[in-house]
Amino acid sequence: MARWSEKVGYGLGDMSSSMFWKVFSYYLPFFYSNVFGLRFADAAMLVLVTRVWDAVSDPMMGIVADRTQTRWGKYRPYLLWVAPLFSICGILLFTTPNLEYGLKLTWAYVTYILMMTVYTGINVPYGAMLGVMTDDSQEKTVFSSFRMFFAYGGSFVALAAWEPLVGFFRAGGLGGQTTEYTTAEAWQHAMMVIAVVCFVLFVLCFSLTRERLHTVSTVSIGSDFKALLSNRPWWLMIGAALCFNLFCTVRGATVAYYFADVIGFDAMLNFQLSTFNFQLLFYAGLFLSVGEVSNMLGVAMTVSLARRFGKKTTFMGVNACLLVLSVGFFFLPVSPVGFWLMLLFQVFISMLTGIMSPLVWSMYADVSDYAELKYKTASTGLIFSSSSMAQKFGGAIGGAAVLWLLGVCGYTPRTDEQMAMQAIVQQPATAIQCLWYLMSFIPAAVALLAIVVCHFYPLTTARMKSIDEQLRVQRSSL
């Protein structure tokens, strides 16, 4: 049984990754179109190309990690080796050079590809660690729950702090009005703060965790790939994980646009209790950060739900609820009462996605055990890299789709001056309608597809109990 400190330490790794990932997913499209100054078509192609490369590179990193042998283990040392590059590349990604358009576009491609490559270099080994920290399927769900609880905690911190940090530096930072920062410089300095925190968290994750299972791959790379491609549960998990990440990315990448052009910059949540009246600004950061706290509540429910209903049934039930809530979001009014309802729907939707996140990683650990038993191959890194690959394909398709759809629907980006003044821009009706669909019917369709895919997933609770028992015998004979 792993120590509590080790579970916390493992969670700190995804806390770091998620702080970057959520900022990338939710604010990077908005940054490229409204701050960096890319045209929608160029920004969409950039997001798609770089995320696809990032997804393709994941199996390569999985193969390398599977064949790494050090005194610290196979996967854990990458947390220490890659952490400095991880932080530096994040800062470069949010740096806007003073160059002509073609060179700026080149800079965007280079820094985004570099960032995603480094993200793969640290996140694939981190994810694969789950397969070698314990041999118990239920404890893997516990580790996965700690991971996602801290991941959403990190996301909450990053999303709640992002806009205040940008505003802080836009106003001059610690120098106050004595220093003038452009919007682009403010975004860069905000990322510097996040990057330092992420570096510290990865170092702590390395220090507090251990690899307990020592697996050795005794087959060739070609055999590993052959086994992977014939692994039916793996294919189904790829589809299910892609749908899950597509659902989250489409909604998340739309929020900044949705609040700027549907809700507005001055919407208020009104509290009224007897003689007490209070108003709170209803803005994108609040909406997203409330979602992250709700994700954490969902994660806390995962272990008990998975034990009672099984991982597969829980996954399908959660997606059915997401489908209904997403459709319902479309009919919410843009009014003071509607703002409260939007926040309530965000709480429920985020609790449900919080339940799903640990399930996905725990089910990948089950797929890894299934592969080890059936194909006699210790390809944990390769299999877990596929989850990261699905995550990034979902992010690539989702982020690019949001930008393409908004471009097709005639969305008008803001200038730097309009951004600084939070100016209202009159958008065409087609763009506003597109934003509503991106927050409702499109995610609902993705949830429906996830239900269909997961229906065919064969690794039930009973099946995994048998696999765990057979694996203990197999490993003890090595």
Tokens found for residue 395: 């992010």
| Ordered DSSP codes for 161-195 | HHHHHHHHHHTTGGGGGGS---HHHHHHHHHHHHH
281 three-class SS: strand
Q: For 220, left (φ over 0), alpha (ψ -120 to 50), or beta? A: beta
Residues facing 281 on adjacent strands: 268
| pLDDT the model gives residue 345 | 97
Return the ∠ at Cα 431 (arms to 427 and 435), rounded to 5°: 115
| pLDDT the model gives residue 67 | 84
Closest among 201, 113, 77, 107 to 150, alpha carbons compared: 201
**Domain boundary assignment for the chain:** 4-476
| pLDDT the model gives residue 299 | 86
Largest CA distance in the chain: 73
CATH number 3.30.2030.30 given to 4-476: no
For residue 420, give the DSSP letter: H
Closest among 31, 158, 21 to 414, alpha carbons compared: 31
Orientation angle between helical segments 380-408 and 429-439, nearest 10 degrees: 160
Reported pTM: 0.72
The pLDDT tens digits along the chain (478 residues) read: 678 899 999 999 999 999 988 888 778 888 998 899 999 889 888 877 887 787 678 788 888 888 888 889 899 999 999 999 999 999 999 999 999 999 999 999 999 999 989 998 998 899 889 878 887 877 888 898 898 889 888 988 898 889 889 989 988 766 555 566 888 999 999 999 999 999 999 999 999 999 987 766 655 667 777 777 788 998 999 898 889 989 998 998 899 899 989 998 888 888 777 667 778 889 888 898 899 889 889 988 998 999 899 999 999 999 999 999 999 999 999 999 999 999 999 999 999 999 998 888 788 888 888 888 887 776 677 777 766 677 667 777 887 888 889 989 999 887 666 666 666 778 899 999 999 999 999 999 999 999 999 999 999 888 988 988 888 887 776 5
| pLDDT the model gives residue 287 | 92
| pLDDT the model gives residue 185 | 92
Closest among 77, 20, 6, 27 to 399, alpha carbons compared: 27
Reported as a single tens digit per residue, the pLDDT across 351-368 is 999 999 888 878 888 888
